[in-house]
Amino acid sequence: MKSHLQQLIQQTLSTLQEQGELPDCDAPVQIERTRDKSHGDFACNIAMLLAKPARRKPREIAELIVGALPSSPQVSKVDIAGPGFINFFVSESAFHAVVPDILNQGDQYGRSHLGEGKRVQVEFVSANPTGPLHVGHGRGAAYGATVADLLAAVGFDVHREYYVNDAGRQMDILATSVWLRYLDLCGEEIDFPSNGYQGDYVWDIAAMVHRENTEAMQQAWAEISRDLPADAPQGDKETHIDALIARAKHLLRDDQYRLIFDLSLNYILDDIRDDLAQFGIVYEEWFSERSLADSGAVTRALERLQTSGHCYEKSGAIWFRSSDFGDEKDRVLVRDNGQTTYFASDIAYHMDKLERGFERVIDVWGADHHGYVPRVKAALLALGDEPARLDVLLVQFAVLYRGGEKVQMSTRSGEFVTLRQLRKEVGADAARFFYVMRKCEQHLDFDIDLAKSQSSENPVYYIQYAHARICNVFRKLDERGLNFDQADGIENLQLLSEAHEQALMNTVARYPEVVEAAALKHDPHQVAHYLRELATDLHAYYDTDNKRITLLVDNDALRNARLTLVSAVRQVLANGLNLLGVSAPAQM
RNA sequence: GCGCCCGUGGCUCAGCUGGAUAGAGCGCUGCCCUCCGGAGGCAGAGGUCAGAGGUUCGAAUCCUCUCGGGCGCGCCA
């Protein structure tokens, strides 16, 4: 409908331009839905935009356009209002046409081919595999997954990816932590480092290592701890743990250390994979950071930067002159000890992403990483790539509330709330919905009590209840010995003249526009808000002014028409919920 | 100090590429007291869109400054 009106206006404009009535001008033809019914269904502001270049009053231009506008069976009336808005009133038949349209398209309604199959990569979560996902990762997970699903819904070829940081120092700390717990199980008395991973899962992995290897990797604690620099508080916890890691690698030698390292990594990756799958999130690819080093991609990236003259050496390290490309200062790529930095891997990773031929690359990061964006873009620029192909979406923090109180979290002590715990407490549906309820740049207050409550205050239940309510009507149909004929219902849609029925058709017709806007702007919350509106319309229809409009009336034509309308509503509710990764139950 | 994000009724937030009298939900007040599930509905009160300038026919929306809140500024990942 929108594009139809756009065409009508466009056509009229070219005619008027040919006749010399209007100057040539490339002002965009914007059609928007009106807020107020008295302004019709759609409005166009083109007359105001043309006022200046045409040097005429907006209302005169509007009259000119309306006068030359070809008639259309879908438009019943055209008005000029206010400063020069052109208001369109949609004809009844065109208005009703969405209903059969929705029912024909079914779960495809709202999907489109806008993306033309262009390849888009969405990388999200990518939490270090050093422990279970916590609630902070949950928002990135829900948000990233929904953005990916939205893009897929509008016709992009989406590649979901998780970047596995399996090469860094944090992994060494984990492997060493596991080994120490394993030694404890072997009966060694050890002093666990203050900077080690304290969580229970470390014990679980250690127990697994112990089961499979019994005492094969046991070493005396006295030998391990000999001459180690002191741990905090007397010494520095960082130097202590680094020395401990070096000792572990030395004593265990490559094969045994690797064994513990890989067992730990795989254990945690399995946990994360399982956790996300239960959250309705499945990736096309789990991309290993280590593979970048192994394949020589990191070296290649460094060489490309060096040969293009964007690097220099200072105090034993190799620096990238990122300040030449908009970053606030230069960054180290290779440390004085010869190790490449995380940033070097990241350059290689992004280079690899673009080389894989994605039209667009989207990274979903926590907002605390925002300072990192300029340097990655700088690297792409230096490499001669287009930084514009990379979109970094920053997600603000989520804070949990329980009983009106902020839920405190501390990662180190192992007392954090895991995503798994949250799912268990509020359910995956509520969690997915709450996480995307706010736009990503907005801090999120996640009210656990609200997410669990089964009342209209809880938007998830309110929406799901609308869906279940419709399903229930169809169950009652049989009980009452009535039948439903959809074809007859479609024939009789003109019987639906109640204000609430009109409102439902209007809302339901907007759905594809909402999906499109949400996808292109990476704004899943628009779908969440839309669904709440649709549910409100449905509940209001069902319970009109305290005099319920009965759907199951004896009049066949009217009953069929009403049931046809609500089954279209049910379809849209289901499609929308599905897009957010939330179930649409038939009963609750 | 510098950079990024945010600042809309008591609370939590929408507000589409600037557009026609600023919208919801919760809470509050008053109703509908069960009829296809009241897990619902209706009505009402409540807003200098943080503040000040500017651009524009038109600004919550764009620009500048000020104030307030969050986050980030490692040869960590």
Q: A16: domain CATH number?
A: 3.30.1360.70
A416: Cβ under 7 Å from strand B? Answer: no
Protein-to-nucleotide distance from the CA of A400 to the C1' of B11, whole angstroms: 16
Q: Helix, strand, or coil here: A318?
A: strand
Question: For residue range A100-111, what is the model confidence (pLDDT) as tens digits?
Answer: 999 999 999 999
A174: Cβ under 7 Å from strand B? Answer: no
Nearest residue (CA) to C1' of B58: A83
Q: Give the range with max mean pLDDT: A37-41, A306-310, A443-447.
A: A306-310
Residues 6 or more apart in contact with residue A228 via CB below 8 angstroms: A240, A243, A244, A247
Protein-to-nucleotide distance from the CA of A494 to the C1' of B65, whole angstroms: 58
Nearest residue (CA) to C1' of B5: A441
Q: Helix, strand, or coil here: A285?
A: strand
Structural domain includes residue A501: yes
Structural domain includes residue A525: yes
Question: For residue range A17-33, what is the model confidence (pLDDT) as tens digits?
Answer: 888 888 777 777 888 88
What local confidence, expressed as pLDDT, does residue A412 receive? 47
> Considering chain A, what percentage of its residues have pLDDT values greater than 90?
65
Protein-to-nucleotide distance from the CA of A26 to the C1' of B13, whole angstroms: 37
Q: Helix, strand, or coil here: A426?
A: helix
Average of pLDDT values for A285-310? 94
What local confidence, expressed as pLDDT, does residue A96 receive? 93
Structural domain includes residue A310: no
What local confidence, expressed as pLDDT, does residue A410 receive? 55
Protein-to-nucleotide distance from the CA of A45 to the C1' of B61, whole angstroms: 17
**Do A471 and A562 fall within a single domain?**
yes
Residue A512 preceded by cis peptide, ω within 30 = no
Structural domain includes residue A469: yes
State the Cα–Cα distance between residues A193 and A185, nearest whole angstrom.
Answer: 16
Phi and psi dihedrals of A515, rounded to 5? -60, -45
CATH number for the domain spanning A553: value is: 1.10.730.10
State the Cα–Cα distance between residues A182 and A37, nearest whole angstrom.
Answer: 71
Average of pLDDT values for A79-97? 89
What local confidence, expressed as pLDDT, does residue A416 receive? 59
**Do A177 and A83 fall within a single domain?**
no
Structural domain includes residue A518: yes
For the cut 60, the answer to whether the pLDDT of residue A549 exceeds it is no
**Residues of A 319-338 whose CB lies less than 7 Å from any atom of strand B:** 328, 331-332, 335-337
Structure tokens at A564: 């046809």
What local confidence, expressed as pLDDT, does residue A37 receive? 80
Question: For residue range A202-213, what is the model confidence (pLDDT) as tens digits?
Answer: 999 999 999 998
A192: Cβ under 7 Å from strand B? Answer: no
A313: Cβ under 7 Å from strand B? Answer: no
Protein-to-nucleotide distance from the CA of A246 to the C1' of B65, whole angstroms: 54
Type of residue found at A413: S
CA–C1' nearest nucleotide, residue A52: B57
List the domain range (segments joined by +) for residue A255.
Answer: 169-270
A48: Cβ under 7 Å from strand B? Answer: yes
CB A147 within 8 A of CB A122: yes
What local confidence, expressed as pLDDT, does residue A221 receive? 95
Protein-to-nucleotide distance from the CA of A328 to the C1' of B53, whole angstroms: 31
A529: Cβ under 7 Å from strand B? Answer: yes
ipTM: 0.93
CA distances A90 to A2, A568, A587, Å, are 11, 20, 36
What is the value of pTM for the model shown? Answer: 0.93
Final residue of a structural domain among A65, A90, A115: A90
**Do A86 and A173 fall within a single domain?**
no
Structural domain includes residue A275: no
Nearest residue (CA) to C1' of B20: A82
Structure tokens at A117: 């199959």
A546: Cβ under 7 Å from strand B? Answer: yes
A517: Cβ under 7 Å from strand B? Answer: yes
Chain B bases near protein Cβ (<7 Å): 2-6, 12-17, 19-21, 23-27, 31-32, 35-42, 57-58, 70-77
Which of these ranges, A148-157, A316-325, A474-483, A517-526, has the smallest mean pLDDT? A474-483
Average of pLDDT values for A5-28? 84
Protein-to-nucleotide distance from the CA of A545 to the C1' of B34, whole angstroms: 15
Residues 6 or more apart in contact with residue A296 via CB below 8 angstroms: none
A86: Cβ under 7 Å from strand B? Answer: no
- Relative to beta strand A42-44, strand A85-90 is antiparallel
**Do A185 and A84 fall within a single domain?**
no
**Residues of A 434-453 whose CB lies less than 7 Å from any atom of strand B:** 438-439, 441-445
Which contacts qualify for A148-152: CB closer than 8 Å, 24 or more apart? A148/A122, A148/A124, A149/A579, A149/A581, A150/A515, A150/A518, A150/A519, A150/A522, A150/A524, A150/A527, A150/A579, A151/A115, A151/A120, A151/A122, A151/A519
Average of pLDDT values for A454-462? 84
Average of pLDDT values for A460-487? 90
Structural domain includes residue A218: yes
Protein-to-nucleotide distance from the CA of A546 to the C1' of B31, whole angstroms: 10
State the Cα–Cα distance between residues A476 and A575, nearest whole angstrom.
Answer: 23
What local confidence, expressed as pLDDT, does residue A100 receive? 96
What local confidence, expressed as pLDDT, does residue A214 receive? 81
Question: For residue range A368-410, what is the model confidence (pLDDT) as tens digits?
Answer: 899 899 999 999 999 988 888 999 999 998 888 887 778 876 5
State the Cα–Cα distance between residues A18 and A23, nearest whole angstrom.
Answer: 9
Average of pLDDT values for A562-571? 95
End-to-end CA distance of chain A: 36
Final residue of a structural domain among A33, A56, A90: A90
Give the containing element (helix H, strand E) for A119.
strand A119-123
CA–C1' nearest nucleotide, residue A315: B75
Question: For residue range A135-155, what is the model confidence (pLDDT) as tens digits?
Answer: 889 999 999 999 999 999 999
**Residues of A 109-128 whose CB lies less than 7 Å from any atom of strand B:** 128
For the cut 70, the answer to whether the pLDDT of residue A586 exceeds it is yes
What local confidence, expressed as pLDDT, does residue A414 receive? 47
**Could you tell me which residue, A106 or A328, shows the higher pLDDT?**
A106
**Could you tell me which residue, A337 or A416, shows the higher pLDDT?**
A337
A406: Cβ under 7 Å from strand B? Answer: no
**Residues of A 66-85 whose CB lies less than 7 Å from any atom of strand B:** 81-83, 85
A3: Cβ under 7 Å from strand B? Answer: no
**Do A86 and A177 fall within a single domain?**
no
Q: How many domains does chain A have?
A: 3
Which residues, in sequence order, are bridge partners of residue A406?
Answer: A401
Mean pLDDT of chain A: 90
Packing angle, helices A556-579 and A135-153, rounded to 10 = 120
Final residue of a structural domain among A56, A90, A124: A90
Structural domain includes residue A400: no
For the cut 60, the answer to whether the pLDDT of residue A423 exceeds it is yes
Nearest residue (CA) to C1' of B38: A543
A526: Cβ under 7 Å from strand B? Answer: yes
What local confidence, expressed as pLDDT, does residue A250 receive? 94
Average of pLDDT values for A446-468? 87
State the Cα–Cα distance between residues A575 and A490, nearest whole angstrom.
Answer: 21
Protein-to-nucleotide distance from the CA of A368 to the C1' of B59, whole angstroms: 32
**Residues of A 231-290 whose CB lies less than 7 Å from any atom of strand B:** 238
State the Cα–Cα distance between residues A500 and A490, nearest whole angstrom.
Answer: 18
What local confidence, expressed as pLDDT, does residue A413 receive? 47
Protein-to-nucleotide distance from the CA of A454 to the C1' of B25, whole angstroms: 15
What local confidence, expressed as pLDDT, does residue A548 receive? 54
What local confidence, expressed as pLDDT, does residue A205 receive? 97
Nearest residue (CA) to C1' of B7: A442
